[in-house]
Amino acid sequence: MTQPWPTSSVSTPVRATVPVPGSKSITNRALLLAALADGPSSIGLPLRSRDTQLMAAALRSLGVRIADGPAGSWEVTPGPMHGPAELDCGLAGTVMRFVPPAAALAEGEIRFDGDEQARVRPMGTVLDALRALGVQVTGEALPFVLHGTGSVPGGEVTVDASGSSQFVSALLLSGARYERGVTVRHDGKPVPSLPHIEMTVQMLRAVGVQVDDSEPDTWRVAPGPVRGNDWRIEPDLSNATPFLAAAAATSGEVTVPAWPLATTQAGDAIRDILEQMGCGVSLSDHGLTVNGPVRLTGIDIDLHEVGELTPTVAALAALATGPSHLRGIAHLRGHETDRLAALATELNGLGGDVTETEDGLVIRPVPLHGGLWHAYADHRMATAGAIIGLRVPGVSVDDIATTNKTIPDFPGMWDAMLQLAERV
């Protein structure tokens, strides 16, 4: 059992510059594309966290060479993928969903498993799609076994990706290596987090893969080679949001350097969200700076495209001066935990007034008190607790180590950010 981590409450504005490590989403896509390429690749400024280390370890187990290079880069040399192999997915959706379509190109038996919480995360959409494309798979969720033959016929498949955009990205990333490529059609409620699919498409095109996304809810990947590439990973904008939220919550000022002027990362939406809540936001060549208002205002917003920002937005909404309605995020019930239930439970446990709706949360700000904030092995739940603790003395997070999933040293970064603020 880990000891609860006491959050730090502050009585003065937080003022800091916070460099943020690389994007998990881009790093893991770059690793997978490099493993499928016809030549070596270099990944500069990669995120080195639990999720990306799990991706690298899974690919190494399949025969891909991933070595440390200059300035912390990863140098990737692809090779024929093969089994037998046992892959640990941890709690990483990008590993448990992106790797099986690539591992289907290997010869031999590949066994997938992960953390206990990962065994209840939805996997049937990807596994059923692989079966429809000619892959033999035993099992419906973790743990499962993939029986590789060295090639995949490919073709057309229809999926319901309303639970996660990862279901589409998983099939697109490896589709060029299938004999007939792959065409993925979505049939269901709107796909959440579409920026992540746009990221996948852009990265595929960057390595020479032909992708046709001109038809709504349909993506066509032509068969063909995948080029090696020199990737340079952007800062993780979603992981930056708790630090920007510190400025918003304390009337402070926080700058995240190297914020890209153009990006496919969903986390970039935090700029507009914070402005709607009363913050000053400025983007320049030097980075993104957020100035917090005297009082945060509530927000009525559809977060369907950027659901990963919900814990940060919910924490700020609980500290605002008026009610908030967060909508379009029913799919968050299938993330690392049921994030809607978890946020409602934890905020209400501190004296809050939060109601779950069919597809979101209604948050009515009331005075909160200290207590134990449960992370549910969910990195974004843990960082939400840290945000609440800035304004509410006596809050402790039960498992801050779970932030290692995407941020290698969140407690150290958080403490460094607060060094100039007066703590309660």
Residue ranges at the known binding site for phosphoenolpyruvate: 24, 93, 121, 166, 339, 380, 405
Task: Please state, in angstroms and as integers, the Cα–Cα distance from residue 407 to each residue in 20, 23, 265, following that order.
Answer: 9, 10, 16
Question: Would you report the helix, strand and coil content of the chain in percent, each value rounded to 5?
Answer: 40, 25, 40
Q: Which residues are annotated as a binding site for 3-phosphoshikimate?
A: 24-25, 29, 164-166, 193, 308, 335
Q: 234, 253, 305, 308: which one is catalytic?
A: 308
Helix residue ranges, H only, 104-209: 124-132, 166-175, 194-206
Helix (H) or strand (E) holding 26: helix 24-36
Would you tell me how many other CB atoms lie within 10 Å of the CB of residue 423? Answer: 12
Bridge-based pairing of strands 41-44 and 74-77 is: antiparallel
Q: Which residues are annotated as a binding site?
A: 24-25, 29, 93, 121, 164-166, 193, 308, 335, 339, 380, 405
In the chain, the amino acid numbered 43 is I
Instruction: Return the C-alpha torsion angle 413, 419, 421, 424, nearest 10.
Output: 90
Q: Is 308 a catalytic residue?
A: yes
Residue 116: DSSP 8-state: G
Q: What is the per-residue DSSP string for 165-190? A: THHHHHHHHHHTTSTT-EEEEE-SSP
Angle at 54 between CA 51 and CA 56, to 5 degrees: 110
Rounded CA-CA distance 244/249 in Å is 9
Task: Please state, in angstroms and as integers, the Cα–Cα distance from residue 14 to each residue in 10, 247, 275, 301, 356, following that order.
Answer: 8, 6, 18, 26, 31
Angle at 399 between CA 98 and CA 296, to 5 degrees: 90
Give catalytic residue positions. 308
